[in-house]
Amino acid sequence: MSGTVDRIWSQYGYDIEDLLRDYYQDELAELYSKFPNEQSTLTVEWSDILRKDMELADYAAVKPDATQRCFEKALADIDKGPDIDLSDAHVQFKDVEQPLTIPELKGDDVGNLITVRGQVAKASAIKPRLTKATLRCDSCGGNFEVHQPVHGMNKPNRCLITDCNGQSFEPVFEESEFVEHQLIRLKEMPEDADGDEYLDIHLRRDLPGSVKAGDRVDITGVLQTDFDDFEKVIPDFWMDAHAVQTHETDYEDLDVNSQKEEFEAIANGEYGNPYELLIDSIAPSITGDDKIRTVKLAIALQLFGGWRRPYGDGRYVRGDSHIGIIGEAGTGKSSLLEAAEKISPRSGFVSGKNASQAGVTAAAVRDDFGDTEWSLEAGAVVKAHKGLCCIDEIDKVDDKALSSLHTALEKQRLEFNKAGIDASLRCETSILGAGNPTNGEFIDDVGVIEQLNMEPPLRSRFDLIFTLRDDEVYEKDKQISDHQLKMRQLSGLVERGDVEPEEADLISPEIPIETLRAYIAYARENVRPVIEDDELNEELADWFATERSNASKSINRRMLEGIARLSEASARVRLSETVNENDIERAKSILKRFLKDLEIWYPQNQDGQTDVTHLETGVDQGDREMARTIPGLIETLGDGERVEIDEVVRVAQESERINKPERKIRKEIRNMIDDGRATTDMTDDEVRLL
Ligand SMILES: [Zn+2]
């Protein structure tokens, strides 16, 4: 190694000193002022080395450690005033050529300085790590030093003091040296792959704490491998990081700007109504009545999203819509989720079944990752920050994960503070959740909300919840089957070459997925619509106020926010900075469809009133009305004495005020008897108030 250092130094020593003096004046001044406590490292961009000398840049890439020593030597040598000694300062390199993904790493890269791109899946607690162990020999009483590698540990077999073969030692803590250290696990971006391949990366000195679980990063460092223990035929790679760069823009990996004209053409309606195009581009194999189209439109608007902004008092108003789909088997809800995940420029997917909190949101976990006891692991919702996270089988998410999901949905941020871990993870993520109704299918005489299989705290956090039933109408069923068979036929013909792909328009989405992803990314990044017209604002406020006053149990303010988010998303589809009347109408019609779907819009309540508190509290207005009315009914019908239960049920069913199925009325009477408000005879035929 030192031979290489000497060779590089003798050839390039002056160049390196020049480079630092010419290009790094400001950075050096900062290092002088902060060294050694606040900053100990100077970061040099590889492109600057390339600008100075191509061969030196090659050395930096393939002999990074030796080149680094030369830069550190130059740093210590160059003149910087009388009082500063930088001989202990470090130099690191960043941004070497194009970033590689984890599957692209090859054995040839070992020992080289490379940049790798990925997402931090896990980060250990930050702890001092041993770099130089001082040991005292029990036999001769002398002290000796053992330098420690970045990865693993050096344990001497015998005393290193000449002629002493002692084999037992005591660590001398105060004479050993430590460096701040953190181990992170980098995985592929969740929307690019299933993300099983990983690279563990050591962050040292100034770098620990510079990234959090869930961050998307480019990390420059030296790729290393453990080939010393011979325990594996396929050695693991790991990296010693030089520089860490967190992605600042949201979608830098997508080629967005070159397709701008195409996006504008779609937005301006040159290929037809853009909203219809979007509906036809999401899971084209799933068709059905206008409800499916509404669900797809809602998903499309969710992908475009409203936008998040500060209210000025430290609070933020959320831009993301959360949507739930509760469907019977065979209604294609999982396919809808998969399609949405594919289209979203940022996405994650998790099944609620068997998923831990760490898998769903994020959690501090205790395991053998790194040398610290605890590490912070990012789950699907955190990894999909600024994108969409699909949660299938959301009804099966366990209690611990669920409570953290509530926080993620509402605050869009998760805080962790324990055992050396201090992090706040952002999760500005839209959730698209799917689940099964309580009995697997919807039962007619039970209220829809009771069958959602979601507790009130969770369902109240969704902007929209839709139900999908398999058994609606025969005609539709046939239409779907026709479509299904035709898809199979056409895809077969295309595969055999009998039909040109462009003729088989049933198969391909209206807008190709890659275009759609980029279009959404472009709109999310560049378009920030607001309702500019005060009159529109007033009209919406009026509509809202009217609905609230019409309804005995009001539509809540959260729903007004929901409409605002969907309207903004609708304007984004047109790439317009202005929310217009149609955007608002589109959002209102989606909300109405949702309320109707859950039977909390007009048809459900006898007075034509909306009862939204049911959604939030799990108790609907009809239930309360029934509980109030039935005791009076028993009293009147029995004239203070016993009355036949059948008669109470019959009269209650006829009552406009109650309007509940027989099963529910009998259950209410049973409840009264069970909790002692009423009594019954031996055969349970008659009832009397107590
Ligand atoms: Zn010894």
How far, in Å, from the CA of 144 to the mean position of ligand 1?
Answer: 8
How far, in Å, from the CA of 138 to the mean position of ligand 1?
Answer: 7
User: For the segment 72-81, what is each residue's pLDDT rounded down to a tens digit?
Assistant: 999 888 766 6
Least confident of 110-119, 540-549, 580-589: 540-549
Edge-to-edge strand list for the sheet holding 643-644: 643-644, 686-689, 678-680
From CA 83, how far away is CA 448, in angstroms rounded?
A: 77
How far, in Å, from the CA of 157 to the mean position of ligand 1?
Answer: 11
Looking at residue 83, its amino acid is D
Range 203-221 average pLDDT: 89
- Locate CATH 2.40.50.140 in the chain: 102-246
Q: 116 pLDDT exceeds 60? A: yes
Q: Any idea what DSSP says for residue 166? A: -
How far, in Å, from the CA of 195 to the mean position of ligand 1?
Answer: 49
pLDDT band at 301; cut points 50, 70, 90:
very high
Residue 533, SS3 per DSSP: coil
From CA 523, how far away is CA 576, in angstroms rounded?
A: 9
User: For the segment 607-620, what is each residue's pLDDT rounded down to a tens digit?
Assistant: 445 555 555 555 55
How far, in Å, from the CA of 146 to the mean position of ligand 1?
Answer: 13
User: For the segment 19-53, what is each residue's pLDDT rounded down to a tens digit?
Assistant: 998 899 898 888 888 887 888 888 898 888 888 88
The confidence score (pLDDT) of residue 554 equals 41
How far, in Å, from the CA of 186 to the mean position of ligand 1?
Answer: 42
The confidence score (pLDDT) of residue 598 equals 78
The CATH number of 102-246, from 3.40.720.10, 3.40.30.10, 2.40.50.140, 2.70.98.90, is 2.40.50.140
From CA 241, how far away is CA 207, in angstroms rounded?
A: 8
CA 32 and chain centroid, separation: 40
Looking at residue 93, its amino acid is F
How far, in Å, from the CA of 505 to the mean position of ligand 1?
Answer: 81
Residue 329, SS3 per DSSP: coil
Q: 655 pLDDT exceeds 80? A: no
Taking the complete model, does pTM exceed 0.85, yes or no?
Answer: no
pLDDT band at 606; cut points 50, 70, 90:
very low
Q: Exposure string (b/e) for 583-619, b if CB count within 10 Å is 16 or more?
A: bbebbbebbebbbebbbbbeebbeeebbbbbbbeebe
The confidence score (pLDDT) of residue 183 equals 92
User: For the segment 221-270, what is each residue's pLDDT rounded down to a tens digit?
Assistant: 889 887 665 666 667 889 999 888 888 666 666 677 788 899 999 999 88
Q: H-helix or E-strand containing 609?
A: none
How far, in Å, from the CA of 207 to the mean position of ligand 1?
Answer: 37
The confidence score (pLDDT) of residue 331 equals 83
How far, in Å, from the CA of 130 to the mean position of ligand 1?
Answer: 21
End-to-end CA distance of the chain: 95
Q: Are strands 237-246 and 309-310 parallel, antiparallel or unpaired?
A: unpaired
Range 547-568 average pLDDT: 76
How far, in Å, from the CA of 173 to the mean position of ligand 1?
Answer: 18
User: For the segment 333-382, what is each residue's pLDDT rounded down to a tens digit?
Assistant: 888 999 999 999 889 899 988 888 888 888 888 877 777 678 888 889 99
How far, in Å, from the CA of 159 to the mean position of ligand 1?
Answer: 5
What CA–CA distances, in Å, run from 363 to 366, 397, 406, 419, 427?
10, 15, 14, 13, 13
How far, in Å, from the CA of 351 to the mean position of ligand 1?
Answer: 58
How far, in Å, from the CA of 230 to the mean position of ligand 1?
Answer: 29
How far, in Å, from the CA of 135 to the mean position of ligand 1?
Answer: 10
Whether 437 contacts 324, CB under 8 Å:
no
The burial of 494, by beta-carbon neighbours within 10 Å (0-12 exposed, 13-18 middle, 19 or more buried), is given as: middle
Tell me which fold the domain 3-92 belongs to.
mini-chromosome maintenance (MCM) complex, chain A, domain 1 (3.30.1640)
How far, in Å, from the CA of 161 to the mean position of ligand 1?
Answer: 5
How far, in Å, from the CA of 128 to the mean position of ligand 1?
Answer: 27
Range 293-311 average pLDDT: 92
How far, in Å, from the CA of 565 to the mean position of ligand 1?
Answer: 73
From CA 11, how far away is CA 583, in angstroms rounded?
A: 67
Whether 93 contacts 46, CB under 8 Å:
yes
From CA 620, how far away is CA 457, in angstroms rounded?
A: 15
How far, in Å, from the CA of 134 to the mean position of ligand 1?
Answer: 13
pLDDT band at 164; cut points 50, 70, 90:
confident
How far, in Å, from the CA of 168 to the mean position of ligand 1?
Answer: 8
pLDDT band at 16; cut points 50, 70, 90:
very high
User: Which residue(s) pair with 246 in the sheet?
Assistant: 217
How far, in Å, from the CA of 175 to the mean position of ligand 1?
Answer: 17
> What token pair was written down for 638?
């029995």
How far, in Å, from the CA of 140 to the mean position of ligand 1?
Answer: 4
CATH of domain 620-689: 1.10.10
Residue 450, SS3 per DSSP: helix
How far, in Å, from the CA of 171 to the mean position of ligand 1?
Answer: 13
From CA 284, how far away is CA 169, in angstroms rounded?
A: 70
pLDDT band at 604; cut points 50, 70, 90:
very low
What CA–CA distances, in Å, run from 650 to 79, 84, 443, 640?
100, 95, 22, 19
The backbone torsions φ and ψ at residue 646, rounded to the nearest 5 degrees and listed phi first, read -55, -40
How far, in Å, from the CA of 156 to the mean position of ligand 1?
Answer: 12
The backbone torsions φ and ψ at residue 204, rounded to the nearest 5 degrees and listed phi first, read -130, 170
> What token pair was written down for 177?
């040296």
Residue 458, SS3 per DSSP: helix
How far, in Å, from the CA of 164 to the mean position of ligand 1?
Answer: 5
How far, in Å, from the CA of 540 to the mean position of ligand 1?
Answer: 85
From CA 458, how far away is CA 441, in angstroms rounded?
A: 20
From CA 453, how far away is CA 395, in angstroms rounded?
A: 6
The confidence score (pLDDT) of residue 474 equals 45
CB-based contacts of 82: which residues, under 8 Å, 6+ apart?
none
Least confident of 72-81, 416-425, 446-455, 545-554: 545-554
How far, in Å, from the CA of 227 to the mean position of ligand 1?
Answer: 30
pLDDT band at 603; cut points 50, 70, 90:
very low
The confidence score (pLDDT) of residue 555 equals 62
User: Which residue(s) pair with 390 in the sheet?
Assistant: 349, 432
Whether 494 contacts 354, CB under 8 Å:
no
Closest CA to 180 of 224, 244, 131, 239: 131
- Locate CATH 1.10.10 in the chain: 620-689
The confidence score (pLDDT) of residue 570 equals 96
The confidence score (pLDDT) of residue 605 equals 44
How far, in Å, from the CA of 312 to the mean position of ligand 1?
Answer: 67
How far, in Å, from the CA of 143 to the mean position of ligand 1?
Answer: 8
Give the whole-number percent of the chain exceeding pLDDT 90: 22
How far, in Å, from the CA of 263 to the mean position of ligand 1?
Answer: 74
How far, in Å, from the CA of 172 to the mean position of ligand 1?
Answer: 14
From CA 97, how far away is CA 46, in angstroms rounded?
A: 8
How far, in Å, from the CA of 158 to the mean position of ligand 1?
Answer: 8
DSSP H helical segments within 366-512, as ranges? 380-383, 399-411, 456-459, 474-496
Q: 420 pLDDT exceeds 50? A: yes
Q: 602 pLDDT exceeds 60? A: no
Mean pLDDT of the chain: 83
pLDDT band at 674; cut points 50, 70, 90:
confident
How far, in Å, from the CA of 228 to the mean position of ligand 1?
Answer: 26
From CA 656, how far away is CA 73, in angstroms rounded?
A: 91
pLDDT band at 150; cut points 50, 70, 90:
confident
Top-confidence residue, 90 or 445: 90
Whether 201 contacts 241, CB under 8 Å:
yes
Whether 434 contacts 467, CB under 8 Å:
no
Whether 186 contacts 198, CB under 8 Å:
yes
CB-based contacts of 97: which residues, under 8 Å, 6+ apart?
46, 61, 114, 115
The confidence score (pLDDT) of residue 391 equals 95
How far, in Å, from the CA of 174 to the mean position of ligand 1?
Answer: 19
User: For the segment 433-463, what is each residue's pLDDT rounded down to a tens digit?
Assistant: 999 998 888 887 777 888 888 888 888 889 9
How far, in Å, from the CA of 142 to the mean position of ligand 1?
Answer: 6
- Locate CATH 3.30.1640.10 in the chain: 3-92
